[in-house]
Amino acid sequence: MADKTKFIQELSTKYTPKGDFITIGKAMLDGEVVTEVDVTIPLKTINRHGLIAGATGTGKTKTLQVFAEQLSHKGIPSLVLDIKGDFSGIAKPGAENAIISERYTKTKLPYEPQAFPVELMSISGEKGVKLRATVTEFGPILLSKILDLNDTQQSIISIVFKYCDDKGLPLIDLDDLKKVLQYVTDNAQGKADLANNYGSIAPASLGAILRSIVALEQEGAAQLFGEPSFDVTDLLKQRDGKGVVNILRVANIQSKPQLFSTFMLSLFAEIYMTFPEEGDAGKPKLVLFIDEAHLIFNEASKTLLNQIETMVKLIRSKGVGIYFITQIPGDVPENVLSQLGLKIQHALRGFTAKDRKEISKAVENYPTTEYYKANELIQNLGIGEAFFTALDEKGIPTPLVHTYLISPESRMDVLSDAEVEDLTSSSAMVEKYEQPMNKDSAYEMLTNRMEQAVQNAEPAAKPKPVKEEPGIFENVMKSRAGRTFTTTLAREGAKFVLGMFGLGRRK
């Protein structure tokens, strides 16, 4: 039997922050709940990222729900990437039952059923806030990585972006990009202009780029590119003092991994570019939860993994924490895992030799402890129990503690279709982003120019003095779209500074 008095004294000291914090449960020792020890997370270190892991059915999603609720209580908004589609119930109050009553009797904490402010979001046409971004906002480097282009093809995309900037051709959606590629290879004037001033494009390289674009479109990317662009500052809202829980429903990610990865990286990049530097402030500005993270890492290319690793390292300085939810810690690449300060480990099952290796690897990542036989207990944790370690306010890992987690105060089930309809129909943010904008962009401008060139080529009945037709640059600069051209100058400066990260910049 462990020394309970020593345990209480040591753990209470390590888990009592001086600043503000959230509580997620009580400590356990020898299978009993120790009510004297609260398991807490300092708000100051939540931007140091984290991991919630465990086998299927061990309570990961409910832990995520508790985490998001407690952040909301502190006025901290979150974005939850809901892969399984079972998180929306947080918008409705929970209902007490025998299991919840028993849990709160053991913890001696109050249970207050309540709803939390929620915005439902979508990148694939479901009900909710439509998230879009323009091709220009992605930038040539990030777009090339998503399309998995080689160095030669990436340089072509960079040339095309530069050409469009110089000519004032807005790249809004994928149709714009494809039209520009067609114009500079098939149209005599466009081909000559590009060759004389930027360099020619080999047909084979063009074909490879177009095939990559079409493959991305097959995953539904056409809905992601466009206007109005989503303003990431809309993720930072509060209602009645509670942080809004933004839920991105992406239940079809299994069939569209490239589309999801595209969105995720563009979102990270946009947050990094938009949010001011925060450093280690008193609390985070936003927390991102990525459920079923192994689906992303299993499908990601090497360049995409490098990009994720870079963003995880950089984004915490913006006051943003990222939390990956997956089955085993090994699902997360080592370079990313090493950046995660908080770890909540639910039970792992050792059915095979490979499973047992994963268990040993997981235990090795935790601080040593005299109170638990971690390699045995990790296989016998009950539902709603977890190993826990975080960073204290000085950035030092806290002792490993067997934690009896509190239950969510909101509904532990999904919203009905009628409830989703009611929630989205009354949302001002849904209304703001619902209707796509179809302003004149590269597609319309170049189509008109090519049609005009065909008409001008028809033989006339009488020769007439022909006034020199204004160039495309002059036409564009006189148009409404052309008036936005000056904004590209500022973007070019930002691209230069952040080129090493391969990040785009919003106009």
Is residue 195 in some structural domain? Answer: yes
Please give the helix or strand (H or E) that residue 347 lies within, else none: none
The answer to whether residues 319 and 189 belong to one domain is: no
Is residue 501 in some structural domain? Answer: no
The answer to whether residues 31 and 140 belong to one domain is: no
The answer to whether residues 118 and 204 belong to one domain is: no
Give the separation between CA 244 and CA 12, rounded to whole angstroms.
31
What is the tens place of the pLDDT at every residue in 58-114? 999 999 999 999 999 999 999 998 877 788 999 999 999 999 999 999 999 999 999
Q: Taking the mean position of all CA atoms in its chain, how far away is CA 492?
A: 25
The answer to whether residues 114 and 151 belong to one domain is: no
Single out the residue in 406, 427, 451 at which a domain terminates. Answer: 451
Token output for 202: 């080999």
The answer to whether residues 152 and 212 belong to one domain is: yes
Is residue 476 in some structural domain? Answer: no
Give the predicted TM-score (pTM) of the model.
Answer: 0.83
Query: How many domains would you assign to the chain?
Result: 2
Instruction: Determine the 3-state secondary structure of 12 from DSSP.
Output: helix
The answer to whether residues 20 and 46 belong to one domain is: yes
Is residue 33 in some structural domain? Answer: yes
Is residue 504 in some structural domain? Answer: no
Q: Phi and psi of 249, rounded to 5°?
A: -85, 115
What is the tens place of the pLDDT at every residue in 274-284? 999 987 778 99
Nearest CA among 61, 429, 114, 122 for reference residue 242: 114
Q: Which residues of the chain have pLDDT under 70?
A: 1, 251-259, 262, 299-301, 453-454, 456-507
- The domain that holds 49 is classified in CATH as 3.40.50.300
Is residue 59 in some structural domain? Answer: yes
The answer to whether residues 197 and 105 belong to one domain is: no
Is residue 308 in some structural domain? Answer: yes
pLDDT of residue 98: 92
Single out the residue in 404, 428, 451 at which a domain terminates. Answer: 451
pLDDT of residue 252: 66
Is residue 392 in some structural domain? Answer: yes
**Domain membership of residue 187 as a residue range:** 135-225+438-451
The answer to whether residues 281 and 293 belong to one domain is: yes
pLDDT of residue 85: 78
The answer to whether residues 230 and 210 belong to one domain is: no
Give the separation between CA 169 and CA 484, rounded to whole angstroms.
10
Max CA distance (Å), the chain: 107
The answer to whether residues 178 and 260 belong to one domain is: no
The answer to whether residues 16 and 80 belong to one domain is: yes
Radius of gyration of the chain (CA): 27
The answer to whether residues 159 and 292 belong to one domain is: no
